[in-house]
C-alpha cells in the first residue's frame, strides 16, 4: 500500500478540534450519566487559551490595529500569555506580558522560551494587579503597543461561540445536556454557553469560580472580589458555583492516578462542579472543559505527595 504524504499545516491550523475524552471518575456513582472532558492541552500552546489568543491577534490584524511595528501587550496568569508568545513568535510580533509573580515556574519559563518579555506584578494583587500594571505601561507609551485586553475583547468569547461550542455539539451528536466551565476571563464559558443555549435552551450551564478571594486555583477569578470582565454574561449561566481549593486538587489528583489524565488547577475546580452536579442527576450527558495539562504545575503543590 502506498504511503500517503502527510498534510501540510501551519500552527494556526492546529488550533481547536480538540478531543472529547470520556471520564470514568464518577461512573460507579452515576452509571446513567456520561461525563466528558474537552482536552484543551492538544492545542499548540497547550491550553484552551490558544483559541482566544489567536482570535484576538487575528481580529487586531483584520482591523489594522496590530501591525508589524507594534508590541503585543496584555496581562495574564499564564496560559493566554503562553499562547500570545507562541503565536507572536510564529507571526513575527514582539510580545510583552504582565504576570503575577507567583504564577508557576513552568509558565514563566514557557513564555520566555518563545521570546516574550515578562514584567511581574505584585503576587498579592493577583490578576487585577497585573491588569493595573499593564494599563500603566500602556499609558506611558500608547503608540508602542497593541493591547488585545483579553478580559474585555469580544473576540475572546467569540472564539468559543464559533469553535468550542459547535465542536461539543458535533462530538456529542447534540446530546449534551449539561455544560461546565471555569471563570477566568470568562470567555470560554460565556461564548460556549451562549451558543449551546441558542442551540437548545434546555442545556444546563454551570460556571465555576473559586469559593473565595484567597484561593489556590490558578487561572480562575473570584468575580465578587475582582475586576469583572466586560465579556462576562451571567444571563447564560444557570448556576455560578464556588469551588473549594483542596477538593479541586484532590479530584485533579484522582483523575491523574485513576485515568492517566494529568490536568491543571482549574480542571480540578471543573471536576468539583461536575461532582456536585451529579448529585442532582440520574441520566444525562455532561461536558466540561479541561483547560490545560498538569505538567505546567509540577513545581506547585498540586501533585506533591
What percentage of the chain exceeds 70 in pLDDT? 97
pLDDT for res 126: 86
**What would the DSSP string read from start to end of 25-55?**
TTTTT-TTEEEEEEEGGGSTTSBTHHHHHHH
Q: CA dihedral in degrees (22, 24, 28, 33; nearest 10)?
A: -20
Task: Find out whether 104 and 218 touch, Cβ atoms under 8 Å.
Answer: yes
Contacts of 96 (CB under 8 A, 6+ apart): 71, 72, 73, 116, 117, 118, 119, 137, 145
Catalytic residue among 47, 121, 248, 266: 266
User: Three-state SS for 21?
Assistant: strand
CB neighbour class for 63 (10 Å; exposed up to 12, middle 13-18, buried from 19): exposed
CATH code that applies to domain 49-146: 3.40.50.1100
Mean local confidence (pLDDT), 278-302: 94
Q: Who's near 64: CB < 8 A, 6+ residues apart?
A: none
94-108 tens-digit pLDDT: 999 999 998 888 989
H or E element in which residue 131 lies? helix 126-140
Q: What DSSP character marks residue 256?
A: H
Model pLDDT for residues 178-187, shown as the tens digit of each residue: 999 999 999 9
Distances from the Cα of 149 to the Cα of 34, 62, 73, 206, angstroms = 36, 16, 8, 25
Q: pLDDT (tens digit, 9 = 90+) per residue, 42-97?
A: 999 999 999 999 999 999 999 999 999 999 999 998 899 999 999 999 999 999 99
* CA 83 – CA 286 distance, rounded (Å): 28
Closest-CA residue to 254 (of 272, 239, 238): 272
With respect to CATH, is domain 11-47+153-297 assigned 3.40.50.1100? Answer: yes
> Which tens digits make up the pLDDT trace of 8-37?
678 899 999 999 999 999 988 899 999 999
Q: Do domains 11-47+153-297 and 49-146 have the same CATH topology?
A: yes
**Distance, CA of 149 to CA of 104 (rounded, Å):** 22
What is the pTM assigned to this prediction? 0.94
Q: Is the pLDDT of residue 160 over 70?
A: yes
Query: How high does pLDDT run on average in the chain?
Result: 95
Q: Is 121 annotated in the active site?
A: no
- Determine phi and psi for 300, rounding to 5 degrees: -90, -175
CA atoms within 13 A on the CB side of 244: 6
Query: In the chain, what are the domain boundaries?
Result: 11-47+153-297, 49-146
266 is catalytic: yes
Catalytic residue among 38, 47, 49, 108, which? 49
Distance of CA 207 to the CA centre of its chain: 13
Amino acid at each position: 500500500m502506498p504511503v500517503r504524504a502527510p498534510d501540510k499545516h501551519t500552527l494556526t491550523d492546529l488550533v481547536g478540534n480538540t478531543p472529547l475524552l470520556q471520564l470514568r471518575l464518577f461512573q460507579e456513582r452515576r452509571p446513567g450519566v456520561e461525563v466528558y472532558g474537552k482536552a484543551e492541552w492538544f492545542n499548540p500552546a497547550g491550553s484552551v487559551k490558544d483559541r482566544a489568543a489567536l482570535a484576538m491577534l487575528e481580529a487586531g490584524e483584520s482591523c489594522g490595529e496590530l501591525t508589524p511595528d507594534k508590541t503585543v501587550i496584555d496581562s495574564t496568569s499564564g496560559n493566554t500569555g503562553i499562547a500570545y508568545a507562541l503565536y507572536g513568535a510564529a507571526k513575527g510580533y514582539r510580545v510583552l506580558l504582565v504576570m503575577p509573580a507567583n504564577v508557576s515556574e513552568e509558565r514563566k519559563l514557557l513564555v520566555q522560551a518563545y521570546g516574550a518579555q515578562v514584567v511581574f506584578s505584585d503576587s498579592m494583587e493577583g490578576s487585577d494587579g497585573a491588569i493595573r500594571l499593564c494599563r500603566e505601561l500602556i499609558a506611558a507609551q500608547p503608540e508602542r503597543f497593541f493591547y488585545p485586553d483579553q478580559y474585555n475583547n469580544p473576540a475572546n468569547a467569540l472564539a468559543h461561540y464559533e469553535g468550542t461550542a459547535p465542536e461539543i455539539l458535533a462530538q456529542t451528536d447534540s446530546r449534551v445536556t449539561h455544560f461546565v466551565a471555569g471563570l477566568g476571563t470568562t470567555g470560554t464559558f460565556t461564548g460556549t454557553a451562549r451558543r449551546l443555549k441558542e442551540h437548545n435552551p434546555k442545556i444546563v450551564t454551570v460556571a465555576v469560580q473559586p469559593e473565595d478571594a484567597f484561593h489556590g486555583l490558578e487561572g480562575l477569578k473570584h468575580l465578587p472580589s475582582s475586576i469583572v470582565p466586560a465579556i462576562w454574561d451571567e444571563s447564560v449561566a444557570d448556576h455560578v458555583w464556588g469551588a473549594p481549593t483542596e477538593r479541586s486538587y484532590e479530584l485533579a489528583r484522582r483523575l491523574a492516578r485513576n485515568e492517566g489524565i494529568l490536568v491543571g488547577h482549574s480542571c480540578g475546580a471543573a471536576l468539583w462542579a461536575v461532582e456536585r452536579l451529579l448529585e442532582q442527576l440520574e441520566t444525562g450527558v455532561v461536558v466540561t472543559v479541561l483547560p490545560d495539562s498538569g505538567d505546567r504545575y509540577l513545581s506547585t503543590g498540586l501533585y506533591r505527595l
